[in-house]
Amino acid sequence: MTAGLNRLPGFDDARILVVDDNIANTSLLDQVLTRAGLGSVAVCNDSREITTLLLDCRPDMILLDLHMPHVDGFELLKVINRHAAGEFLPVLVVTADTGREAVHRALQLGAHDFLTKPFDVTEVTLRVRNLLRTRWTYLELRRERSRLQDHLDVLDVNSVGTEDSWDVRRARIEKVMTLGGPRMLFQPVVDLRDGRTIGYEALARFDDEPIRGPNHWFAEAEEVGLGRELEVQAAQTALSHLPRLASDQLLGINLSPATILADWRAGLGSDVPWERVVVELTEHVVIEDYQAIQRALESFRELGAMLSVDDTGAGFASLRHILDLAPDYVKLDISLCRGIDRDPARRALASALVAFTLETNSVLVAEGVEEPEERATLKELGVNFAQGYLLGRPAPLPEVHRSKKV
């Protein structure tokens, strides 16, 4: 009797790809794994098809022969590693070659376990189960890390001003501004269809004490009456990096409604290529006078600048922002992108927003994409642009500018 796989969480819908030029071997493994409870087993008898199958099947695990015509298993391990892009994608090598050199080479190229032909049915099932359990734990840890970071961000903002006096906090913000303000990192926005980087979002980072997130710094600046000034300084620093981008790339800068209403562009000069600037307005900020914001945005748009509404779907104000401000870009909040490959409700909402943006001639951009499955699902739904750790982490511009495709 074989050990069942479907008793462990997430295993009944795990996707397995079996790669072997011997049809008898792939057929047998297909039968063994299907009987053990796996619902999706794909087989590949022509190793030249691996790239297409990796994208189509999006496997959670791969069973791989080493010695095959056309492309051998060692070369396929390199292809699989590039596809995994740093993610834990387990590979169980199933081979008759147990020579030390072959084993060492396969391990160096990223293999995780070995099974000797002819194989024992129960051993196959147990080794697959163990590797899938490890992958499931890895994915859960990644998701838990993201949830913890979200929680820490909330605590960070809520803790503003709870200990230091007004004078101390204002002096802290004034010191940051005197030293040039926050440094800027840049996160790529990627075209999911071809991997091309179409632009970057500028993100502020603070190195001064106390060590805390940028939301905390901006919230504290607002409390002591320097919120607009700090925000303007960050935006001006971001725009100063624009000449370093390729001529067809955009730059997104984050501005609050209060800053948009102010005449903050006076110190920028007349040489800013506004047609490559995207003003990003967060959904979380309450707008009291939409007509005033519309009038202020008109002056940006007359210069060629575009508008993006951030964090769509994260709160009550997102649809009002979209309807009243007619943005050029609509950013799908990270909370809706996370786990979208496993959640029908999230997929339905994303599909509705795809249709909405098509009707309104705006562009939908997914935020916070961290998993290959999320990227693939978004692309299938018609979301063509995205940003997130999977596609590129925030980095100094000279580093991110060297890489154009993801």
May I ask the CATH class of domain 15-138?
A: alpha beta
Tens of pLDDT, residues 240-285: 999 999 999 999 999 988 888 876 776 666 788 999 999 998 655 5
| Higher pLDDT, residue 53 or 252 | 252
| Higher pLDDT, residue 211 or 21 | 21
Using alpha carbons, select from 340, 310, 331 the residue that is nearest to residue 385: 331
**Cα gap 232→254, rounded to integer Å:** 10
**Cα gap 206→398, rounded to integer Å:** 19
403 pLDDT band (50/70/90 cuts)? Answer: very low
The per-residue pLDDT for 92 is: 94
Tens of pLDDT, residues 131-187: 998 888 887 777 676 666 655 555 554 554 457 899 999 999 999 999 999 999 999
What percent of the chain is helix, strand and coil (3-state, nearest 5)?
Answer: 45, 15, 35
Domains of the chain by residue range: 15-138, 164-401
**Cα gap 375→370, rounded to integer Å:** 8
How distant is the alpha carbon of residue 74 from its chain centre? 29
Angle at 336 between CA 297 and CA 10, to 5 degrees: 165
Cβ-based neighbours of 51, under 8 Å, separated by 6 or more: 79, 83
- Residues 360-383 have a mean pLDDT of 94
- Predicted TM-score (pTM) of this structure: 0.63
The per-residue pLDDT for 175 is: 95
Using alpha carbons, select from 204, 202, 250 the residue that is nearest to residue 227: 204
213 neighbors 156 (Cβ within 8 angstroms): yes
May I ask the CATH class of domain 164-401?
A: alpha beta
Tens of pLDDT, residues 71-96: 999 999 999 988 876 678 999 999 88
- Residues 313-333 have a mean pLDDT of 78
Sign of the torsion angle spanned by Cα atoms 182, 184, 185, 191? positive
DSSP state of 274: G
**Cα gap 106→78, rounded to integer Å:** 10
* Torsion on CA atoms 290, 386, 86, 73, rounded to nearest 10: 170
The owner of tokens 């809706």 is: 336
How distant is the alpha carbon of residue 215 from its chain centre? 20
